[in-house]
A = this chain, B = another copy of it.
Amino acid sequence: MSVETPAGRASNAMVSSDRLWQDIMALAEITEPHRPYTRRSFSDWFLDGRKWIETRFRDAGMSVRYDTAANMIGRLEGTEAGLPTIAIGSHSDTVPSGGRFDGILGVLAGLEVIRTIRERNIVTRHPIEIIDFLAEEPSEYGLSCVGSRAMCGHLPESTLALQNSEGESLRQAIARIGGNPDELASARRLDLAAFLELHIEQGRVLESSGTDLGLVSSIVGIVRLEIEFLGSADHAGATPFDLRRDALVAAASTIAAVRSIGEQYAAKGSGYFIATTGGIHVEPNAANVVPRLARLIVEARAEDAALLAAFVADIEETSNLASANARVERPVFRQLSDSLPAHCDPRLRAHMADAARFLELSSVSMASGAGHDSSFIAQIAPIAMAFVPSRDGRSHCPEEWTDPQQCADGAAILLETLLRVDRDEAFDRPSFITGNIVRTFA
């Protein structure tokens, strides 16, 4: 990674660090009181948070509407009729006991961009929209990125039938909070010139290298595998090595292979690659019994879809060998989910890099290892993403933290990128990236 480090520090920024910070802290107050910070999508807290945001959107001079998928959209018209929309967006929902920045920063920084535009009497040729996508985090209905899926036409009837634990369907829930599931097709957008998202990094790369901004090259594709080994639950004392069929031994060998093969792929130079064994289930899981069953959940993420396919083939082979060595069966080897990488638009990335130089912010090109609403929007518009640092890489927890100045840096990069895109006639017509077809996203 090559870090670009200018001499100075964001002195060209027009946004207000204090105003943005106060918004972030104020929205954080709207939370389930006994487990901050929690505003799960579809909950009363989430709707209260949205009302609070809607009021600020209107105060900033935007019109506000809900599309049929219950995405909340603030809009500022441009000066030239007929130009497509430049959109900025992220999400205001949280995971249970989540943080104050994940998603939220992207929405409130968009608000700060609009306020700055208005108070500086800046006009844009294109209309600008700030989008609060519905339910980016995994919802009670078992689906994430509900709003961004709908906006690119990927919310089929089968997913609308998903139910929460109380038996309410996703269809009913969307209708309850102001959407119109019968007219979902109209949520699909064909009028976007460009889409920009600011997000916290949720990792340690920026912090550990002391870099202000991450300029995202691609959002990784993700493949998840379930691998099950089946041996025999023999007496751990009475069964010698040559007679035992230990499922955990095969699993351990596979966990090691996921790491070592993953490291080889990461070193290939074909972009970001990461692999993790995050989940393990063992039966009977008793000190004095040879493990009969071991089930692993393995995940790989990459910018290069071909690497993901090759990794799956390698682990298929390695885990098969591991099961043969331990004399166990491998009855299950299957892909639980599979999404393709989404690539950021080169022209938008160039504008963003130029904006960072103008703002005298150091930046690094990096992949997003986490999924975002942008992954879906990449199917209907050119996208670009910027990251600001996460302290200790923490996210999805109350300790999630990004400094006020770092948040303001993020708003500044959105504004300066937006102004450059607005001036660029290449974005005067809607554009589709047809190569990015996201199949599923977990």
Partner-B contacts on A (CB < 8 A) = 201-205, 208, 220, 222, 224, 232, 234-241, 243, 246, 248-249, 251-253, 255-256, 259, 262-263, 266, 272, 274, 276-280, 282, 285-291, 297, 299, 301, 368-371, 393, 395-396, 442
Contact = CB atoms under 8 A, between A and B. Distances in A.
User: So how many copies of this chain end up in the complex?
Assistant: 2
B202 A238 contact: yes
Given A202-B235, A235-B370, A241-B263, 5 more contacts: A203-B238, A236-B369, A253-B256, A256-B256, A279-B285
Given A253-B256, A280-B282, A222 B237 contact: yes
Nearest to A253: B256
A45 to B, nearest CB: 23
16 contacts: A202-B235, A202-B237, A208-B243, A222-B237, A224-B287, A235-B395, A236-B274, A237-B368, A237-B370, A238-B369, A240-B272, A241-B263, A279-B285, A279-B287, A280-B285, A287-B297
A204 B245 CA distance: 12
A7 B369 CA distance: 70
B249 A256 contact: yes
A252 B249 contact: no
Contacts of A277: 248-249, 252, 291
A239 B393 contact: yes
A94 to B, nearest CB: 15
Contacts of A238: 201-203, 205, 368-370, 393, 395
Nearest to A337: B287
A204 B279 CA distance: 32
Nearest to A239: B203
Contact of A241 (B202, B237, B249, B274): B274
Contacts of A262: 241
A106 to B, nearest CB: 15
A239 B275 CA distance: 10
A203 B235 contact: yes
A246 B249 CA distance: 18
A238 B238 CA distance: 45
